[in-house]
Amino acid sequence: MMTKGMGIALLSAAALLGGAAAQAGELPWTYGEVGYTKAPGTEDFDTDAYDLKASIGFLDKWHSSLQYIDGTTDFDSGSDDDFDGWRLVVGAHPQLTPDTQLVTEISYFDYNYDGGEGSDGGADGFGLGLGLRHSLSDKAELSALATYTQANFDDSGFGSSGNTDVYSTVVEVGGRYNWMPNLSTGLTVSLGGGGAGAGLESSFLGGNLARFDVRWSFLGDVSK
């Protein structure tokens, strides 16, 4: 399991790999990002989480990212479940038009849960994503991504029989505003519980969620 120090180191690595400021109208894939996610869940619980994400663009139309997340689920009964984990993504983003990219991704994730008093569990699995990323102007962009997720949820620590396979398809839509060439903020809404951009899986969250992020981007790919 990753530590918070490793997550911070990954964010710093992305900053060191960037070589220049992003130009107007570009869709950079090399960036460091800090995010906050709010998931209402069901009527009796909700979740708050923070994450660090580092992404690298390479070979002109490929990208890879690593995300670390740490959060807490609060139940009306008074008990809290802490969780943390990571997600690795590798994908391609070929150019469809001067302002639009097709986004295809494959991801692997691994999360751990601590419910207290021995109520521990975890989930790991993979996702397949397909979507679009579009630049409206030098200041704004839109994105949409549909992700199929298959997860194995180990809930034996919660008094259940053991492993459970969970399948879901999540649709997420997002917008981003560039305050400066490098600095932007984004809002992503995931419908169906979980989502690639949010970093939270439907294996342990129901309903929808919203993620706000602050991103520092860099020009172009690390290599072409």
Per residue in 37-95, pLDDT (tens digit) is 988 755 556 788 999 999 999 998 999 999 999 988 776 656 677 888 999 999 999 99
Give DSSP secondary structure letters for 156-196: GGGTS-SEEEEEEEEEEEEEEEESSSSEEEEEEEEESS-BT
Write the CATH number for 202. 2.40.128
In a domain, 166, yes or no: yes
pLDDT digit string (tens) for 85-137? 999 999 999 999 999 999 999 999 998 877 655 556 788 899 999 999 999 99
In a domain, 119, yes or no: yes
Q: What is the DSSP letter of 219?
A: S
In a domain, 48, yes or no: yes
Q: Write the CA distances from 141 to 113, 144, 146, 171, integer angstroms.
A: 35, 11, 17, 17
pTM of the complete model: 0.78
In a domain, 224, yes or no: no
In a domain, 152, yes or no: yes
In a domain, 99, yes or no: yes
In a domain, 41, yes or no: yes
**Residue-range definition of the domain harbouring residue 24:** 4-217
In a domain, 223, yes or no: no
Q: What is the number of domains present in the chain?
A: 1
